[in-house]
C-alpha cells in the first residue's frame, strides 16, 4: 500500500496515483473469463433492438443510442491557460453527456441490461424469436406482458434514469432506490416517466442494499445490480467498438506512435470499467485509461490502494462522500469493476468540486457544450497526466448532462465563472 498517497486521500487533497499492478494486455487476456466475443455479442443484441428503440424513441433516428466524438481545440487552449500547462496532442470529447434517451453514459449499460432481460422473458415465454423484428415489443400486447414483471435498481441518479426510462417505456413496473445525494430534478423526471422512486437518508450503498432486498424472493422481480452485474459491464463495453469506428472515420490510427489516453469519471466503477475493458481488447497496450474521482468520494482509489476493494468504504476513513458530482458520490466501489480495473487502468486522479465547476463553465464558453459536474472530472486528467508526445489522442469521456435543468445548470455555470475570476 502507498501510505503517502493514502494520507493525502484521507486529508482530502488532490492526488494522482499510478497503478503498479497493471498487467500487459496479453497477460490479462490469458486470465480473463470475459472475452472479446462477449462484447460483440452485446453489440449484436443492441442491433436487434434498434427497430424497437427507434419506435419508442424516434429522436435516436436509427435506433442506435450513440454519442459523437468531437475535437475541441478551443477547450484545449482554455485548459492550458487556466492551468498554465501545455497539452501535447489532440483533445476530443466523447459526448455521452448527450446520449439520447437517458442523457448519460448509463444509457448504454442500463438500457442494455433491461433490453436483455426483456428479450429473455419474451423468448422463454414463446413470444419472440431472435430472427423477428423487435419493434413488435412496443405493442400493447407486450406492454401488458411486461407489466406483470418488476425491475429494481439502486442509484445516485443517472443509472436510475436509464433503467427507469427504458423499463417504463416497455411496460415494466420499475422502482428506483435513490441515495440522499441524488438530485431532486432526477427524482422528479423519473416519476414523470412512470417510475416509483424510493428515497433514503443514507448513501448509494444503502440504496443498493435496500433495492436488492426488496427484489429478493420474488421470481417476477429483477434487480439490476450496479455493484456486480456482468450485463451492465458488457453493455458499457460496447462503447469501445463505437469509439474505434469514430476514430477511423476521423482518420486516426491508434498504434505505438499514436497512443490513446482516455479519462473516465468513476463512481461505483461499472461504466469506466466496462469501457476500459472494451478499449483494451481493441487497442491493447496502446490505450491508457485513467479514472477521475472527487476528493470527497474516492471510492475506487480507496479500494485499490488498500486492497480491500468493495469492502473499503470512504466513510471508514472519515471521508464524507459529499460532492457536487452526484453521479460519482459513491462510498464503496463495485467488486467486479475493482478487480478488473486493478489489472487494466494506468491510474486514478482526484479533483476538488471547485475545479469541476470551473471546467463546466469553460466547456460552455469554449465549445457551447453543457455537461454536469461529474462529467467535468474527465478534463482534469489531461493537465495532470504528463505526456510529451505530440501524437497523443486525448479523449475526455463526458458522462452526463443532457437532461440537466437550465436553471440548475446556470447556477453551476455562474459558480464556475466566479471561481475562474477569483
Name which of 420, 202, 402 is nearest 313 in CA terms. Answer: 202
pLDDT in tens, 87-116: 999 999 999 999 999 999 999 999 999 999
Residues in the chain: 422
Q: Enumerate the H helices of 309-352 as residue ranges.
A: 335-344
Fold of 3-102+231-421: Rossmann fold (3.40.50)
State the maximum Cα–Cα separation within the chain, in Å, rounded to a whole number: 64
What residue ranges do the domains of the chain occupy?
3-102+231-421, 106-229
pLDDT in tens, 341-386: 999 999 999 999 999 999 999 999 999 999 999 999 999 999 888 7
Contacts of 274 (CB under 8 A, 6+ apart): 109, 232, 233, 234, 235, 236, 237, 239, 337
pLDDT in tens, 128-183: 999 999 999 999 999 999 999 999 999 888 999 999 999 999 999 999 998 888 88
Strands of 45-182, DSSP E: 69-71, 90-95, 150-155, 173-178
pLDDT in tens, 391-408: 999 999 999 999 999 999
The answer to whether 297 and 328 have CB atoms below 8 angstroms apart is: yes
Q: What is this structure's pTM?
A: 0.96
pLDDT in tens, 284-323: 999 999 999 999 999 999 999 999 999 999 999 999 999 9
The burial class, CB within 10 Å (0-12 / 13-18 / 19+), for 60 is: middle
DSSP assignment, residue 218?
A: -
Please tell me the predicted confidence (pLDDT) of residue 311.
96
DSSP assignment, residue 327?
A: G
**Euclidean distance between CA atoms 338 and 348, whole angstroms:** 12
* Domain 106-229, CATH among 3.20.20.20, 3.30.470.20, 3.30.365.10, 3.40.50.1100: 3.40.50.1100
Same fold, 3-102+231-421 and 106-229: yes
Helix 106-124 / helix 158-170 crossing angle, nearest 10 deg: 30
Amino acid at each position: 500500500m502507498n501510505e503517502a498517497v493514502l494520507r493525502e486521500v484521507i486529508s482530502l487533497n488532490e492526488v494522482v496515483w499510478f497503478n503498479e499492478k497493471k498487467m500487459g494486455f496479453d497477460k490479462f487476456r490469458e486470465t480473463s473469463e470475459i472475452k472479446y466475443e462477449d462484447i460483440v455479442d452485446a453489440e449484436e443484441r443492441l442491433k436487434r433492438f434498434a427497430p424497437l428503440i427507434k419506435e419508442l424513441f424516434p429522436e435516436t433516428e436509427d435506433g442506435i443510442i450513440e454519442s459523437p466524438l468531437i475535437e475541441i481545440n478551443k477547450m484545449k487552449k482554455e485548459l492550458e491557460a487556466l492551468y498554465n500547462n501545455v497539452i501535447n496532442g489532440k483533445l476530443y470529447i466523447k459526448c455521452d453527456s448527450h446520449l439520447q434517451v437517458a442523457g448519460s453514459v448509463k444509457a448504454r449499460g442500463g438500457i442494455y441490461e433491461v433490453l436483455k432481460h426483456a428479450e429473455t422473458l419474451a423468448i422463454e415465454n414463446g413470444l419472440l424469436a431472435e430472427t423477428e423484428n423487435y419493434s413488435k415489443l412496443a405493442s400493447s400486447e407486450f406492454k401488458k406482458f411486461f407489466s406483470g414483471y418488476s425491475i429494481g435498481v439502486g442509484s445516485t441518479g443517472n443509472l436510475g434514469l436509464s433503467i427507469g426510462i427504458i423499463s417504463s417505456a416497455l411496460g415494466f413496473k420499475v422502482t428506483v432506490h435513490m441515495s440522499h445525494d441524488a438530485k431532486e430534478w432526477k427524482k422528479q423526471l423519473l416519476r414523470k416517466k412512470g417510475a416509483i422512486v424510493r428515497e433514503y437518508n443514507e448513501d448509494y450503498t444503502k440504496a443498493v442494499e435496500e433495492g436488492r432486498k426488496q427484489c429478493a424472493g420474488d421470481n417476477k422481480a429483477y434487480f439490476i445490480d450496479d455493484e456486480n452485474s456482468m450485463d451492465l459491464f458488457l453493455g458499457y463495453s460496447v462503447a469501445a467498438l463505437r469509439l474505434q469506428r469514430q476514430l477511423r472515420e476521423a482518420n486516426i490510427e491508434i498504434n505505438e506512435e499514436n497512443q490513446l489516453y482516455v479519462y473516465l469519471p468513476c463512481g461505483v466503477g461499472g461504466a469506466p470499467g466496462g469501457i476500459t475493458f472494451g478499449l483494451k481488447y481493441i487497442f491493447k497496450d496502446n490505450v491508457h485509461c485513467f479514472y477521475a474521482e472527487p476528493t470527497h468520494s474516492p471510492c475506487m482509489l480507496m479500494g485499490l490502494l488498500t486492497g480491500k476493494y468493495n469492502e473499503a468504504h470512504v466513510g471508514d476513513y472519515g471521508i464524507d462522500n459529499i460532492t457536487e458530482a452526484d453521479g460519482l458520490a459513491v462510498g464503496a466501489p463495485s467488486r467486479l469493476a475493482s478487480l478488473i480495473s486493478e489489472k487494466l487502468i494506468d491510474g486514478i486522479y482526484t479533483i476538488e468540486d471547485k475545479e469541476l465547476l470551473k471546467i463546466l463553465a469553460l466547456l460552455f464558453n469554449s465549445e457551447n457544450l453543457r455537461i454536469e459536474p461529474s462529467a467535468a472530472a474527465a478534463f482534469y486528467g489531461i493537465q495532470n497526466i504528463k505526456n510529451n508526445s505530440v501524437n497523443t489522442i486525448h479523449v475526455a469521456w463526458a458522462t452526463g448532462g443532457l437532461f440537466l435543468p437550465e436553471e440548475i445548470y446556470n447556477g453551476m455555470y455562474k459558480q464556475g465563472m466566479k471561481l475562474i475570476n477569483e
